[in-house]
Structure formats: structure tokens, C-alpha cells
Amino acid sequence: MSISPPYLTCHELHASYDSKVLFENLSFAVHPGERWGIIGPNGAGKSTLFKMIKGDLKPDKGSISLRNNTRIAFIDQKISIVEELSVLDVLKNALPFEYDSEAQMKQIEFEIEKHNQLANTNLNLVYDPQWQEILSELNERLSNVPGTPTENIILSALKLGQLEDFSRNQFKNLSGGQQKKVQIICALLKNPQLIFLDEPTNHLDVQTVEWLEEFLLKIVENGFSLLGLKTPGQDLEAVSFVIISHDRALLDTLVNKILEIEDGEARQFEGNYEAYTEKKLDIMAINEKECAKMANTMRRELEWLRSGTKARTTKQTARIARAHSLDKNLQNKQRKLNTNKNTELGFQPKISSFARDKDDNIVAKHLNLGDQELIAIKNASISHPGKSNFFLFKNLNLVLKPKSRIAILGHNGSGKSTLLNLIYNKTSPIQGEIKYHELAKPSYFDQKRYQLSLDDTVREVISHKGDQVFFDGKYIHIMSYLEKFLFSKYDANRKIIDLSGGEQARLLLAKLMLEQGNVLILDEPTNDLDIPTLQVLEKNLLEFKGAVIFTSHDRYFMQRVSTSVIAYTGSNQEQSFWQIYADLNQALEQVNAQQSLEKGNKDKIPNKKEESSSDIQQNNKKKLSFKHQKEFEALEQRISQLETIINKHTEDLNRIYSENLSYEKTKEISDKIEYFQKELESCYEKWGEFI
């Protein structure tokens, strides 16, 4: 079986930034059907590699070649689209001429008009066979414009992007997730064979990340026929993509090859992220053994060199050279093994009160966190910041206790950040109350990073006064502390405006650790963090003895860290609806099922306002036999019963969570909800067959 030539070939690329080597001898090739994930710490050179492939940067050494006529698309982190245009116009402008039948027809019509104008100036031309032949060819081209009609392509794009209801909206008025969808679809309207995506999930909500994952899988499986992009003689080679991402769930689902850039080296791995993790562990174990073996050899060589042997033969001279080479190799291996690649986190919650000692001095008294309610939200109603008559949360009950870690799941704009801000700023809701333990000490991670002044330096963020910070019960030098977060002495005086997103996130975590709060309020802490830092953050939150409430688009992170999930399930004209679930998988299943039901019901509503529900039911009766009519009525009755049962169990589950009862009890109720939800879905499917 012959292998198709690669779309892209990178050969022995070298890249450096200032005096730092990003990577050396980087070589890889992307063949049709391959799905590459590029991973590595922040600053390793991943985006630099993309810029080289795009042509914005030149490598220090090496070569990059694309196969002739390969169609490529780049989806950058930054979105560059004219904000005043409507979604419809943005998509139309993105469609290449070769697929735009409407533009092709206009072009041919223009040529026909121009050809006819020749006859207007010279009437005898209409009798000229050559003139007639050209006109006939133009008319034949007009009637046989190839490809799918432009309108159908745009409608398919809107449907795949779930943007039908927003087609007339200006791009600037879309949410961040919707804008990202438009950007991705615009790139893919070019019918590329090779797609490059640079951190596409950053700052997206979980639902949009899931859409992206599903959308890319559809493209891989079906090609761009999904968008109606067909050209005569088009090759059937599979689509390939290369994606830079720290989203481990996305990498695990989508990619079949991984390129890791780390410590100036590039390594290739077959398989998805799970396969990479297994092989990476094997390599780490081998490196440790090799380092130990090389050290033993070095000791033997060193003993010989120090033995004072007088006769230096050619053979012995070669042995000395070998010993020096071993020494250099050993130092390099040890340097890489000892390199501090990960941020050092250590959240240390404290709940303290003050008392007088025997000498009548006021001293801090540290208490055990125990099982106290640090923050309790009771029947709270929170209005939309811009719509006072709309409630983001209605009668919300939530309790934050030590070792509870609550994730908030909802699309961008659903109210997640509003709730976190309300808790941190101790703002009173419109209705209900939020009670704080007298010793509760919240610490807040702000996703927009307003806590960082752009004109401040790294050093000033951590300590405006002096060179010492108090951490872990003692004073340490500010640079020793910053090194825990991978900041060097050269970074200390850099301004915040000059830091990357990942560096800003690490700095906020460093600031947060110094506060030693016992309630961590984290708004998208995973944005811009590389995988090693994410792993360290997960470990520390799992060991954290205080309470955590957080939002994140990283499904792996949410699933691993959370002990429960509060999820947005929909809204009406007056309020949003939220439910509490035992874990992320259950939350996503229920939310997706609920949305599917709502969409199904919406599609089934007749577009005749004059028809009442009784009229519709009466029309159904006329179409059904007596037997089927009885089945239909029984089905409607069962649907009503199931909806009542599910609502009752959901109320019970919310009460159990607010009272912080046992996991077994929550699991029992959650399983019941899942059981009845599946029956309800089945009933709705059968009900639809009667309509």
C-alpha cells in the first residue's frame, strides 16, 4: 500500500529567543489523515513553530516545505474579523470564489453584459459567428455553474456552527464562544486539506469546547461535504490538522500523533494523550536508569584518570577523550532531570481567631477547619447586571464546607462569574442571603486579571515593600518565592503588560498562595496554563483542606477536581435554571438531554398561532385509530408523571447537597434521576411518532 506524500515537512528546524534555545533539530511530517497535537510548557516554542510554518518567522536553521497546491488554514488565538459585519456577511466574505456559485454567476453575467455592449456600438456584430459563439459559451457557462449553491453552503455553515438564530447579528455583539465558532467556520470554508489550530479552546465555555471537538470529528470523518464544498475532480485525501492545546480531554479524543517540545528537544509519540502519558512515563524511567549507569561509568573513568598513569598511549588518550565526553553527557542529562519544570504550589488554608495569652498579650489562635459551613447561600436570587427584571439565579441554595470543591458549568454569559464575584465581594443578593463564617477568608482568582496592574512589575505584584514575603510560617526572599513559579531574576522587573497569558496566570497563583485563604474562588484558573502547571494545580486543590468553588472550560480538570457540579440547564423570559449533580459526566449528560428535548419540542410546535393546544390535540385524534389514540393519551399522561417525578428528585438532590449529606445518598438520588430521564426521553421519541 503506497503512502501519500506529506502535506507538510519540517526538517531539522532550529529556533532561539534571545539567548534561549527553543528547539533544535526539530523534524516531523504531516501526512493525509494525521491529527497532530503539539504540547509542551509555556515558552517552549510551540507558537513560534506555527509562525515559522505560516511564514511570519524564519527558522535559524532547517527547512519547511508544503506539498504543491496544498490548501491550508490557520486558526490563530487572536480573532481578526471586521466587527461591524453581520455573521451572514462574514461567512459570505470568507467563502472563496471557486466555491461561491453566486459570485461566479455575477462574474459571468458581467462578462455577458460587457459582450453585449460591443454589439450596441456595432450592430453588425450580432451577425458575426465568432461573436455569437462567445455569447453561446458564456450562456452555457452561466447555466452550468458547478458546485453547491452559495445559499446552501452558508446555511450549512450556520447550522453546523449553531448560529442560525444569530445570522443577522453584528459580529461584535456575539459572545466569545460564538465569535470563535465563526472564526473556525470561516477558516474551514476554504476547504483546507491541512488545518492549524493555536489554543482553540482558550476562554471558551465547556459546551463550546464540546462543539469544537464534535465538529472536528465530523470534518475528519466526512470531509467538507458537510458544508457542501465540492469541486470537480477534487482529490479524496483525508483532512489533517495540527493543534496546539493544553486541553487533555480534547487531545485524548482527537489526535493520533503527539509532538512534544520541551527543554529544547522535540519528541514524537504515536497515539492520543493517554498513549503519550504511558510512553512518557517509560522514557522518564529509562532516563533515570541511563543517568545512574552513566554516573557509575564516570566514576570508574575518573578513578583511572586520577591514578597517575604515566604511559599515555593513543588508546589511553582516546579513553581520556571518552571520559570527558561522558562527563559532558552526564551533566546534560542531570541538568534536564534536575530542571524545575513545574510550578510549585502549596495552598495552606488557615482559620484563625485571636485570644489573650497568660501575659495578656493578643495572639493568633489557629483552629481546625473541621466540618464548619464556611459560606452558606440560602434561597438567594441574583439578577442580571444589565437586566434587573431577569434572574441569573433564583432561590439558590449552596454550602461551601472544608474539602468541598464545587464546579460551575454553564455557557459564557450564564452568570458564573457574577456568582463568584458576589461571593467574594460579600454583596447581598436581591432576595435570600449569603452567610459567612466569622473566620472565613476568601481568596479570588480573577479570569480577566483585573487584580494585576499592567504598569506594575512582577516583583511589585508579590511585594510592594521590601525583598521578603511571609510564606509557610517564615520569611523568604522574594526571588526564592518567585522561582517556585518559574520566574527568573531577569523576570522580576518585567511589567505585567509584557507577560504572556500563562505567565500572568502563574503570577496570580503566586499572589493567591500568599493570602492563605480558606475559601478559594477561582474564575477560569486553567486559561493559558500549560499541562505541567495544570497537573500541579489539580494535585494541590485535591489536597486543599479548605473549600473551593470554581469555573473552568477544561473538562479533565473539572472532572478530576470537583466533588459536585452546579450546572445551567436553560432559561425562560424571567430566569435561568440551575441544578446540582454528583459529577461532570452526569451534569453534561443531563444538560445535553434537556437541551435536546427543548429543541425537539420547539421544532414540533406548529407555526400557526391561531391553533390552540386543544385544536392540535383534536387534529391528532382525527388522524389516529381508537387503539393508537389510547396509546397516545397514555403516553402523554406518563410524560407528565415523569416530569413531576424528575422535578421532585431534583429538589431532593438540591436539598441533600445544601445539607452536605453522604455521597451514598446523593448517588442514590442521582441514579434515580438518570433512570427516569432515560424513560422520559424514550417516551418523547414515541410521542413524536404520533405527531
pLDDT at residue 633 greater than cutoff 60: yes
Q: Dump pLDDT digits (tens) for 214-269.
A: 999 888 888 887 787 765 445 578 899 999 999 998 999 899 999 999 888 899 99
Cα 268 off chain centre by: 23
Q: Quick one: pLDDT at residue 605?
A: 44
String of DSSP letters for 453-496: -TTSBHHHHH-SSSSEEEETTEEEEHHHHHHTTT--TTTTT-BG
CATH number assigned to the domain comprising residue 554: 3.40.50.300
Which of the given ranges, 144-153, 189-198, 507-516, has the highest pLDDT on average?
189-198
Percent of the chain with pLDDT over 70: 78
Task: Output the pLDDT for position 606.
Answer: 46
- For the stretch 55-93, pLDDT in tens is 999 999 999 999 998 999 999 988 889 889 999 999 999
| 566 and 421 belong to one structural domain | yes
Q: Is residue 506 in a domain?
A: yes
Mean pLDDT, rounded, for 608-620: 39
Helical pair 584-604 and 206-222, crossing angle rounded to 10 deg: 70
pLDDT at 443: 92
Flag whether pLDDT at 149 surpasses 90: no
Has residue 401 been placed in a domain? yes
pLDDT of residue 311: 44
**pLDDT at residue 562 tops 60:** yes
Domain assignment present for 479:
yes
pLDDT at 302: 62
Q: Is residue 289 part of a domain?
A: yes
Beta carbons within 10 angstroms of residue 345's beta carbon: 21
Q: How far apart are CA 454 and CA 458, in angstroms?
A: 10
Task: Single out the residue in 546, 580, 614 at which a domain terminates.
Answer: 580
Q: Residue 66 in 3-state DSSP? A: strand
The pLDDT value given to residue 387: 74
Give residue 314's domain range.
281-338
The three-class DSSP label of residue 678 is helix
Asked whether residue 447 falls in the same domain as residue 302, the answer is no
* 55 grid coordinates: 511564514
pLDDT at 165: 86
pLDDT digits (tens, 9 = 90+) for 420-439: 988 998 888 888 889 998 88
- At residue 656, the pLDDT reads 66
Q: Domain count of the chain?
A: 3
For residue 312, pLDDT over 80 is answered with: no
Residue 669 has pLDDT above 70, yes or no: yes
Q: How far, rounded to the nearest angstrom, does the alpha carbon of residue 571 sit from its chain's CA centroid?
A: 24
| DSSP one-letter code for 427 | P
Q: Are both 457 and 318 inside the same structural domain?
A: no
423/471 same-domain check: yes
Instruction: Measure the CA–CA gap between 498 and 504, rounded to whole angstroms.
Output: 9
Q: Are residues 446 and 396 in the same domain?
A: yes
- Per residue in 267-278, pLDDT (tens digit) is 999 999 988 888
Mean pLDDT along residues 476-489: 86
CB proximity list for 112: less than 8 A, separation 6 or greater: 135, 138, 139, 142
The verdict on 568 and 628 lying in the same domain is: no
CA 482, CA 493: separation in Å to the nearest integer?
12
pLDDT higher at 28 or 687: 28
Compute the mean pLDDT over every residue in the chain, rounded to the nearest whole number. 80
In a domain, 387, yes or no: yes
- Residue 653 binned pLDDT confidence (cut-offs 50, 70, 90): low
pTM exceeding the 0.75 threshold for the entire prediction = no
Same domain, 506 and 571: yes
Q: Same domain, yes or no, for 428 and 574? A: yes
Residue 480 and residue 575 in one domain = yes
One domain, residues 333 and 294: yes
Position 303 pLDDT exceeds 70: no
Q: Where does the pLDDT of residue 53 fall: very low under 50, low under 70, confident under 90, or very high at 90 and above?
A: very high
Residue 498 lies in a domain: yes
Question: Based on the domain organization, do 479 and 552 belong to the same domain?
Answer: yes
